[in-house]
Structures are given as structure tokens and as C-alpha cells.
Amino acid sequence: MSFDSHDQRAIGRRMRDLAVRAGIETLAYFRSPDLDVRGKSDGTPVSAADLAANALIVSGLRQSFPEIPVVSEEVGGDTPSDWSAPFFLVDPLDGTREFISGSGHYTVNIALIVDHAPLLGAVYAPALDRLQWVREAGDAVEETPPFAADAAGPARALSCRTADNAALVAVHSRSHLNSRTRQYLARYAVTEATAAGSSLKFCLLAAAEADVYPRLGPTMEWDTAAAHAVLKAAGGRVVDAETGRDLVYGKPGLANPWFVACGRGVRVLPLAP
């Protein structure tokens, strides 16, 4: 299955609309005193907002594109018989801990994976009024709020800045910054570091607000796919921290290796022996 420019624009626009609709849905829960949080079998939290956003996105994608499987972090997704074929990859609410804490650093994420790589992506941070998405391969934009669920608004093209490796701006996790990542970042010439939650870290790179984001800890493919698509279309990359190769999708178990996301010109350092 291949997608020409017209196909990509139709799919990208539908992904964008569903991300906005799902994000609006989560805001009703975010502003509620009762978030209805439960524990999943892996010990991570899930809220009623996760499940509501998931149901909206999965049903919307299936209705619009029944031939493309939908893989989701939450219940109700598909298990593709052929992981080399195109599939959607959804994280309806990335940053559940941020959502629960009230920080607003959570995102709705929808990606289209083609040939084991993210082709299209939509990332919406409803509490922060940020929306980035890929209209077609190589065309990433950030819309200007307010956002309508059925009409794309004015947008600016996203393009990663060219890094000064002697004065890098780094971004790291608000909730998962570990000693390995601290030690790794210390090897770069970082003059400024900022913390962000969820897939927003990639968004800062795509928007030319930061240069490098290392993640030396566990993540899943749905955590990164949509924002990886945006960053890639903006001229950035996400590489396996050990091999230096581009991150791939549709792996057994869907677990990511440690990785480094970066903008243009960043000299990615190897892991310390």
C-alpha cells in the first residue's frame, strides 16, 4: 500500500482533526476534580480521559480508513498480521502522570507508520494550546490557536534550527530524568536545559526551540511515533543511542531502544563504554 501526496494530505488532515477532537475531550476531564485514575496491569496509570480519547480516535480512524490497522496503547486497537504494512500508531494521552498532576504537559498522538518509519503524525497539547502535524511527507506545521476540530487554521512551517555544538539547548523529561541521562548530557556543551513532559520534547526540537533530547530509559513506540514524524518532517532525526541508526517501528513487543532526538547539525555522541 502506497500513499501519494493527495492520499497523505487527506490522511494527515483526518489525523489532525481527530487529535483536536480527542484533545478537547480530555480537557473536560483535566478540569474536573475527579480524574477517575486506575492502574493498568503494568503498573502505569490510566485515566478515564485516556480511554475516552482512545475510543474517539480508534473509531474515527477505522471509519475513515478501514483498510489500515490501528495500534493503540490502550484497549480496542488491532494487532497487524504484517508489521511491514502501513498501520496507525496511537497514544491517546501521553504523559498521564503530567495530566494527573495538573501540569498540562500531556499530548494526544496519532502516527501513520509506513515501511517501519513514521510518515505522518499529529501531536496536540490541548492544555498548552500547541498543535503540530504533518500535512504530507516533509511538510510539518504548527497551527495558531484557537483550534477547530473540523477546520485547519493558519499555520507556520516547522524547521529545526542548525545547532551550535558549542552552545546546545537540551530538553529532558520532567518525570523520568535519570542519572544515566544526566551523565550523557554532561558530555555535551549544553548552555541551557529545559524540562518538558510527554512528546512535547520532540515538539520543542521541531519548533527550533531546542537542539537535543536524549532518552536513556524505557519508552514504547506509541510514545514517540507521532512526534518523531513531525520532527523528521521538520528536518530532525531520532536515532538509536547505541547504533546511531534511525529509530524503526513495528518491532516485536513495540519497545524502543534508548534514543537521541535532535535537530540539524547536532553531533550525536556515542554511549559511554
CA-CA distance, 108 to 90, in Å (whole number)?
8
Class of domain 5-157: alpha beta
Tell me the domain boundaries of the chain.
5-157, 168-262
Query: What pLDDT score was predicted for residue 167?
Result: 99
Annotated binding site: 73, 91, 93-96, 223
Percentages (nearest 5) of helix, strand, coil residues in the chain: 30, 30, 40
Annotated binding site for Mg(2+): 73, 91, 93-94, 223
Q: For residue 218, is pLDDT > 60?
A: yes
CA-CA distance, 252 to 232, in Å (whole number)?
23
In 3D space, the residue among 150, 94, 114, 159 whose CA is nearest the CA of residue 132 turns out to be 159
Annotated binding site for substrate: 73, 93-96, 223
Could you identify the residue written with the cell 480537557? Answer: 27
Same fold, 5-157 and 168-262: no
Give the model confidence (pLDDT) of 114-163 as tens digits: 999 999 999 999 999 999 999 999 999 999 999 999 999 999 999 999 99
Q: For residue 43, is pLDDT > 60?
A: no
CATH for 168-262 is 3.40.190.80
Give the model confidence (pLDDT) of 58-112 as tens digits: 999 999 999 999 999 987 789 999 999 999 999 999 998 888 888 899 999 999 9
Average pLDDT over all residues of the chain: 94
Quote the cell numbers at residue 268. Answer: 550525536
Query: What pLDDT score was predicted for residue 42?
Result: 60
Please name the amino acid found at residue 203: C
CA-CA distance, 136 to 141, in Å (whole number)?
10
- Three-class secondary structure of residue 40 per DSSP: coil
Query: What pLDDT score was predicted for residue 201?
Result: 98
CA-CA distance, 195 to 201, in Å (whole number)?
8
